[in-house]
Amino acid sequence: MPETRAITGNGAIAEAMRQIAPDVVAAFPITPSTQIIEDFAGFVADGKVDTELITVESEHSAMSACIGASAAGGRVMTATSANGLALMWEMLYVAAGMRQPILVAVVNRALSAPINIHCDHGDSMGARDAGWIQIYAENNQQAYDNMIMAPAIAGHADVRLPLMVCLDGFIISHSIETMQLEEDRQVQAFIGEHKAFHSLLDTANPSSWGALDLHDYYIEHKKAQQVAMANAKPVIEEVSERFGKEFGRRYELFESYRLDDAERVVVAINSVAGELKEVIDELRDEGEKVGLLKIRVFRPFPYAEIAAALKNSKIVTVLDRSTSMGAYGPLFVEICSSLYDANPRPMLYSRTFGLGGRELLLDDIRDLFEESKRYLNEGKIEKTSDFLNVRGG
């Protein structure tokens, strides 16, 4: 039977990993994702899951071991954050290029320097073009649910790409939430059996992985990855629909919150959506036509679907919790691309917030909507891009 439990986001991810029952987990601990591997190691030690847990000397080695285990035909998982993900950088591209459906829980944390252990999205956004599917979560329940769906998406025959489930460090990872954990057998039936693709251990059908690939075929392999990423979008929708029917919680590529008639819209990712919804409800009670579009799937990015969802908006404020030095924020760039052909095109601007864990309070969100109201009334935007809550102007 499903179990209602008060549990941290990290604890929920560890439970999902136990239920998925990977063949191999290779990991090196880093704050704030450490509890995931600590809890999972306890499950292994107690015989609750039959997994080969490999403790390594670095995150680069962790992903290297994951790639080898996956190429050998195993179902493979790990978890990391921030500088740990950055140390995996080379191997992220190898995993994607070799089409290994490795699963990673990324507990979002700011990258050094300066040293910071709190939340922003610089780590996963920095890896946005590495060839990994990226799915984000607003809270503990969604982080757990996304991880349960992950094996069915990544391992699908039309996809076969690695996948990262992203959750905000401390805000989700360390916060306790009462949520529902599903029954083990039902989860395992939903996920299905892992089917290896050209396993290195299948000596009757030998295969080669990681071979030298120069100008002769390299671009063809890159196009194949792009095709697989395009294929992932309908697979994510299908798996999400099946999850909703099975467990009663429904997910789409993004969440539309009070969006149908909204004139002023905020686009955001992850935990800040909860505070945004609260302020939106208050403003709706005051007669304001405001709404939220919360990104769930960032790669592959749902351009056409977002354009359709924002067709009635008059002004869109994009909240980025990461920076792209010398350019606009990564989420803002994608929203601009989505709306490039929109007619009429809404007014668009970007605000960067929350770097290194800086809080965005309810009053700050009210001010954000007041700013968009003023811009809409004046018919012009003063600053296309700016930082929120920064000392010194």
How would DSSP label each residue in 170-200?
A: TTTTS-EEEEEEPPHHHHHHHH-----SS-T
User: d(Cα 63, Cα 132) in Å, to the nearest integer?
Assistant: 13
Helix (H) or strand (E) holding 40: helix 34-45
Place of tokens 């030998």: 206
- Whole-number pLDDT of residue 13: 99
Angle between helices 184-191 and 9-20 (to 10 degrees): 70
Q: Which domains does the chain have, with CATH numbers?
A: 3-247 (3.40.50.970), 254-387 (3.40.50.920)
Tokens matching residue 168: 């905000």
User: d(Cα 32, Cα 81) in Å, to the nearest integer?
Assistant: 7
Reported as a single tens digit per residue, the pLDDT across 325-360 is 999 999 999 999 999 999 999 999 999 999 999 999
pTM above 0.85?
Answer: yes
B/e letters for 275-285, b = 16+ CB within 10 Å, e = fewer, are: bbbebbeebee
Handedness of CA 133, 298, 226, 124 (dihedral sign): negative
Reported as a single tens digit per residue, the pLDDT across 186-205 is 999 999 999 999 999 999 99
In DSSP terms, 5 is beta-bridged to 179
Asked if the model's pLDDT at residue 76 lies above 80, the reply is yes
